[in-house]
Amino acid sequence: MNSSPGFLGFFKTSIGRKWVVALTGLFLIFFVIVHMAGNLQMFAPTPDTINRYAELLKSNALVLWGFRAALLVATVLHIWGALSLARENRAAKPMNYAVTGRKARLGLTWASVTMVISGTVILGFVVFHLLHFTAQVVDRSYQEMEAVVDGRTMHDVHRMVVVGFSKPLISGFYVLAMGLLFFHLRHGAASVFQTIGIRDRALSRLIENASWALAVILFVGFSSIPVAVLLGVWKL
């Protein structure tokens, strides 16, 4: 008789769900790094660079929708795994009076509270961001912005981003969300390696510092665009 939990059963165990959160988290980190690098083409000498790049990303529908589906699945699994682990942690220590403080009694650590709060705001941000720049329904005039690059007419993503961030409230919300992404990644990236079993002290320290550096780079890289727009780097 086989008493092992099986592939799907493994994901019901808490260590299985930790792996789900860790691996989907790594995939999402990979996406944000690539997305930030792509976005920094806003600073290229000509707007054609980012417009050409955006057009290229949408040139193969199968690749585009395959990647979007993978992102969606990773996001859903990441949230499901993280919330079920947080709930389980709380249930496991309902009356831990040895640790003082209401949050500690409820089994909530400061890190888990900030992860759930920052994660929720980031999710809200992503929904807004998709409506803003992908579906372009926050301001429908974005849909009509066109540029001619290499003799081809394409969407003027550069202009859309500049117009989008010229509203301080929207730029402010983006920078705030990037700040929360910073906190989320600083803790999250290091936890991934704890889950996959790296216990070596020197290596853990290195990973902790690398997570910190990555979080700073992403915060500065992403925020630089709305800040540059507000500083008037590009004229409308």
Residue number, 130 or 137, with CB nearest to ligand HEM:
130
Residue 165 identity:
F
Q: How far is the CB of 196 from ligand HEM (least distance, A)?
A: 23
Nearer to ligand HEM, 127 or 203 (CB): 127
Nearer to ligand HEM, 25 or 107 (CB): 25
> CA–CA separation, 190 vs 110, rounded Å?
16
**Residue choice 183, 193, 219, 222 for contact with ligand HEM (CB under 6 A):** 222
Query: Which parts of the chain are beta strand (E)?
Result: 146-149, 152-155
Q: Residue 228: left (phi > 0), alpha (psi -120 to 50), or beta?
A: alpha
| 107 vs 215, beta carbon nearer ligand HEM | 215
Residue 129 lies near ligand HEM (rule: CB under 6 A): yes
Among 181, 185, 189, 192, interactor with ligand HEM by CB under 6 A: 181
The candidate with the shortest Cα–Cα distance to 170, out of 142, 135, 139, 216, is 139
- Measured from the CB atom, the residue of 85 and 230 that comes closer to ligand HEM is 230
Which residues, at least 6 apart from 31, have a Cβ–Cβ distance to it below 8 Å? 71
Closer to ligand HEM by Cβ: residue 92 or 130: 130
Q: Which of 118, 142, 162, 174 binds ligand HEM (CB under 6 A)?
A: 174
Choices 2-10, 91-99, 109-117, 219-227; region in contact with ligand HEM by CB under 6 A: 219-227
Decide if residue 115 touches ligand HEM (CB under 6 A): no
Q: Which residues of 156-168 are buried (b: 16+ CB within 10 A; e: fewer)?
A: bbbbbbbbbbeee
The DSSP line for 41-109 is GGGSSSTHHHHHHHHHHTS-HHHHHHHHHHHHHHHHHHHHHHHHHHHHHHHH-TT-TTS-SHHHHTT--
Q: Is 54 in the site for ligand HEM (CB under 6 A)?
A: yes
Mark the segment that binds ligand HEM (CB under 6 A) among 12-20, 145-153, 202-210, 222-230: 222-230
The residue (of 161 and 190) whose beta carbon lies closer to ligand HEM is 161
Both tokens assigned to 94: 């309902």
Per-residue tokens: 232: 């008037």
68 is an interface residue for ligand HEM by CB under 6 A: yes
Which residues of this chain interact with ligand HEM, rule CB under 6 A?
32, 35, 39, 54, 68, 71, 122, 126, 129-130, 133-134, 157, 161, 174, 181, 222, 225-226
